[in-house]
Homo-oligomer: A and B are copies of this chain.
Amino acid sequence: MNYHAPVDDIAFALHHAAGLDRALAEGLYPDLSPDLIEAVLTEAGRFASDVIAPLNRIGDQFGTPFKDGTVTTPPGWKAAYTAWAAAGWNGLAAPVEWQGQGLPQALNAACIEMWNAASMAFGIGPVLTMAAVDALADYGSDELKRAYLSKLVTGEWMGTMQLTEPQAGSDVGALRTKAERAPDGSYRLTGSKIFITYGEHDLTDNIIHFVLARLPDAPAGTKGISLFLVPKFLLNGDGSLGKRNDVRAHSIEHKMGIHASPTCTMVYGDDGGAVGYLIGEEHRGMLCMFTMMNRARLAVGLQGVAIAERATQQALAYAKDRRQGRAPGAADGSSPIIDYPDVRRMLLTMRGLTRAARAICYATAVALDRSHLAKEAEARAAGQGRASLLTPVAKAFATDIGVEVASLGVQVHGGMGFIEETGAAQHYRDARIAAIYEGTNGIQAIDLVTRKLPLEDGAVMRAYLKELSEIIERIRTANDPALGAIAERLAEALASLERATQWLLARLKSEPNAALAGATPYLRLFGVTAGGCMLAQEALAAQRLANGADTASRVATARFFAENIAVQAEGLERTITQGADTVVAAFPDAAA
């Protein structure tokens, strides 16, 4: 079935869970009216549902045939991409001076979710172009910006992000691609890269590669890496396309999912060296790349939300339509399977996890906006801290639940879920990559525990915990029986999160392995606690707005989540604080 962008739900999450309303009230977005927000979301939803979504299955079946160094995208993809770019979507949050729309990252996050729910394979391409725009805008020379930035902002050209080499995956510092200084101030790159998303394709006339490489005199490790802009076609003096650069796609991967996203092995310098231009300073490439990576990480988190939303929609529609037997309490005849409590639990789990992950991702985007737009330096710093803290959670929690929700979506369909034509299986296959790329979820968890928790001596995390406790306090104060045990369950979850945080911080230096052993369960604990609080916040807002069925739905989702999912918190806490020994001990591999 097709995807219908849940524009109302997305707007509600932005306004009431992610803090857009508060940011609007504070004056963070002086030019942003409620009407504009609604218009943008509605139009994006229409484009995603009507134009992109119908291409998702075609893309899965057609893939991206590779021949003689060229990639053919599936039928209809180029037209859709061109229309999408022409409508200005690629530059939604990009600077106005470079032909962007200058709208908030928060709105862009909502749109990125919709593009990816329509098709993850479609959505991941622009994600990388947008990340490239950020890096170029922040660190590029004026000359490079003038030559490339507007074209990337409008999407007339697409960008790629090239870190990975066979020996350098999670360990970026091990990369070997070489860059040598040329007399004209440019560089010549030789080497190869693997797993390059949209490394070659026919959607745009030029492709601008953002490539990490190492200068001959570079220090070892990540401190010796520089970032280069390497266009597929060099530009003539007038900006028109000139000579083909010495970078080529050598092959594409045969992947389990996102078949319409070409994943390329790239070769540099078969013919003497690809011309590249330095971005930022020599040996400081990781700094620039982190700008790209953080944006891309949030966007990949949004892919998790997106695939979860699409899987949930499809499962819900199936469960209402498919009839089997007589559900308990039904008068007779054939009940829709949604009437069975076990199926309902699956659907409620899917919806709860999806909405929780969405709220976390959008809150990250609002924090990013605050880090740029707030008038006071202190507020900007707070926004930066919050965005840094939440980014690994947004990426890993949302993509983990993307896999889980897609798997439940298959299960709701029964045997039909395993048949490819139903579509549920594609979501399950597509979802899996998001937990891996842009830094595996294990890397995200380690980033959260070792770099984000200690930010400002723990003050960034403390401020967040305080905010969560205030939400719980508002639920408690409401003292409304309809809210069930939300306050109690979330308070318990928060207490677990607080204790686990203290435990980890106390061991970061003295017992790093013990802290690292708990990183993944800790990130999950963070996600279920924060997600539960955000859904509770949605429930309170919904009660205030008193929208009948919608209010009932949000209260029910928040209750279900608190009473069925947030209760995992204590077990997770114990895994973190009492289970590390069993992980740190030598791996028992003698018997396998």
Residue A117 interfacial (CB < 8 Å): no
Of residues 431 through 453 on chain A, the ones whose CB sits less than 8 Å from some CB of chain B are: 432-433, 435-437, 440-442, 445-446
- Give the residue name and chain of the B residue nearest to A354 (CB): B592
In contact, B342 and A420 (Cβ under 8 angstroms) = no
Which B residues touch A410, using CB under 8 A?
Answer: 432, 436
Name which of A194, A407, A555, A583 has the most chain B CB atoms within 10 A of its CB.
Answer: A583
In contact, B342 and A445 (Cβ under 8 angstroms) = yes
- In the assembled complex, the Cα of A569 lies from the Cα of B560 at a distance in Å of 18
Q: How distant is A568 from chain B, measured CB to nearest CB, in Å?
A: 4
- In the assembled complex, the Cα of A347 lies from the Cα of B174 at a distance in Å of 25
In contact, B415 and A195 (Cβ under 8 angstroms) = yes
In contact, B554 and A591 (Cβ under 8 angstroms) = yes
A1-45 to B contact mask, C-beta < 8 Å, 1/0: 000001011001000000000000000000000000000000000
Q: Which candidate, A50-58, A254-262, A368-376, is the interface stretch facing chain B?
A: A254-262
Of residues 244 through 277 on chain A, the ones whose CB sits less than 8 Å from some CB of chain B are: 253-257
Q: Which candidate, A296-304, A384-392, A511-519, is the interface stretch facing chain B?
A: A511-519
Which B residues touch A578, using CB under 8 A?
Answer: 485, 563, 567
- In the assembled complex, the Cα of A320 lies from the Cα of B587 at a distance in Å of 11
Name which of A512, A567, A587 has the most chain B CB atoms within 10 A of its CB.
Answer: A587
Q: How distant is A297 from chain B, measured CB to nearest CB, in Å?
A: 15
Residue from B328, B340, B346, B436 in contact with A415 in the complex, judged by beta carbons closer than 8 Å: B436
In contact, A164 and B435 (Cβ under 8 angstroms) = no
A554-588 to B contact mask, C-beta < 8 Å, 1/0: 11110110011001111100110011111111111
In contact, A590 and B342 (Cβ under 8 angstroms) = no
Residue A502 interfacial (CB < 8 Å): no
Which B residues touch A111, using CB under 8 A?
Answer: none
Residue A471 interfacial (CB < 8 Å): no
Q: How many residues of A contact B (CB 8 A)?
A: 108
Residue from B351, B425, B446, B564 in contact with A592 in the complex, judged by beta carbons closer than 8 Å: B351
Residue A312 interfacial (CB < 8 Å): yes
- In the assembled complex, the Cα of A425 lies from the Cα of B431 at a distance in Å of 12
In contact, A341 and B583 (Cβ under 8 angstroms) = yes
Which B residues touch A556, using CB under 8 A?
Answer: 582, 585-588
A540-563 to B contact mask, C-beta < 8 Å, 1/0: 000000001110111111011001
Q: Which candidate, A93-101, A154-162, A165-173, is the interface stretch facing chain B?
A: A165-173
Residue A345 interfacial (CB < 8 Å): yes
CB-CB under 8 A for A342 and B446, given A9-B591, A554-B591? yes
Of residues 386 through 409 on chain A, the ones whose CB sits less than 8 Å from some CB of chain B are: 403, 407
- Give the residue name and chain of the B residue nearest to A425 (CB): B256
Residue from B513, B567, B581, B586 in contact with A574 in the complex, judged by beta carbons closer than 8 Å: B567
In contact, A341 and B517 (Cβ under 8 angstroms) = yes
In contact, B588 and A254 (Cβ under 8 angstroms) = no
Residue A329 interfacial (CB < 8 Å): yes
- Give the residue name and chain of the B residue nearest to A563 (CB): B579
Which B residues touch A582, using CB under 8 A?
Answer: 348, 484, 556, 559-560, 563-564
In contact, A411 and B441 (Cβ under 8 angstroms) = yes
Q: How distant is A134 from chain B, measured CB to nearest CB, in Å?
A: 23
In contact, A414 and B432 (Cβ under 8 angstroms) = no
Residue from B418, B583, B588 in contact with A553 in the complex, judged by beta carbons closer than 8 Å: B588
Residue A428 interfacial (CB < 8 Å): yes
Q: How distant is A149 from chain B, measured CB to nearest CB, in Å?
A: 29
Of residues 305 through 332 on chain A, the ones whose CB sits less than 8 Å from some CB of chain B are: 312-313, 316, 320, 323-325, 328-329
In contact, B255 and A174 (Cβ under 8 angstroms) = no
Q: How distant is A331 from chain B, measured CB to nearest CB, in Å?
A: 15
- In the assembled complex, the Cα of A348 lies from the Cα of B554 at a distance in Å of 38
- Give the residue name and chain of the B residue nearest to A437 (CB): B415
- Give the residue name and chain of the B residue nearest to A512 (CB): B328
Residue from B171, B432, B548, B571 in contact with A418 in the complex, judged by beta carbons closer than 8 Å: B432
In contact, A440 and B411 (Cβ under 8 angstroms) = yes
Name which of A174, A253, A582 has the most chain B CB atoms within 10 A of its CB.
Answer: A582
In contact, B589 and A316 (Cβ under 8 angstroms) = yes
Which B residues touch A590, using CB under 8 A?
Answer: 548-550, 552-553
- In the assembled complex, the Cα of A81 lies from the Cα of B172 at a distance in Å of 47
In contact, B420 and A407 (Cβ under 8 angstroms) = no
CB-CB under 8 A for A414 and B429, given A445-B342, A567-B574, A582-B484? no
Which B residues touch A323, using CB under 8 A?
Answer: 167
In contact, B549 and A328 (Cβ under 8 angstroms) = no
A→B interface (CB under 8 Å): 6, 8-9, 12, 164, 167, 169-171, 173-174, 194-195, 253-257, 312-313, 316, 320, 323-325, 328-329, 334, 338, 340-348, 351, 403, 407, 410-411, 414-415, 417-421, 425, 428-429, 432-433, 435-437, 440-442, 445-446, 484-485, 512-514, 516-517, 519-521, 548-550, 552-557, 559-560, 563-564, 567-571, 574-575, 578-592
25 contacts between A and B (CB under 8 A): A9-B591, A9-B592, A164-B415, A167-B323, A169-B414, A171-B334, A256-B420, A257-B418, A316-B589, A316-B592, A328-B512, A341-B513, A341-B583, A348-B583, A351-B592, A410-B432, A415-B437, A548-B590, A549-B590, A553-B588, A554-B591, A555-B588, A560-B583, A563-B574, A568-B568
5 closest Cβ contacts across the A-B interface?
A549-B590, A553-B588, A171-B325, A556-B588, A256-B425
Known contacts A345-B517, A411-B441, A418-B436; can you find 6 more A-B pairs with CB under 8 A?
A171-B324, A174-B325, A253-B419, A256-B420, A553-B590, A564-B579
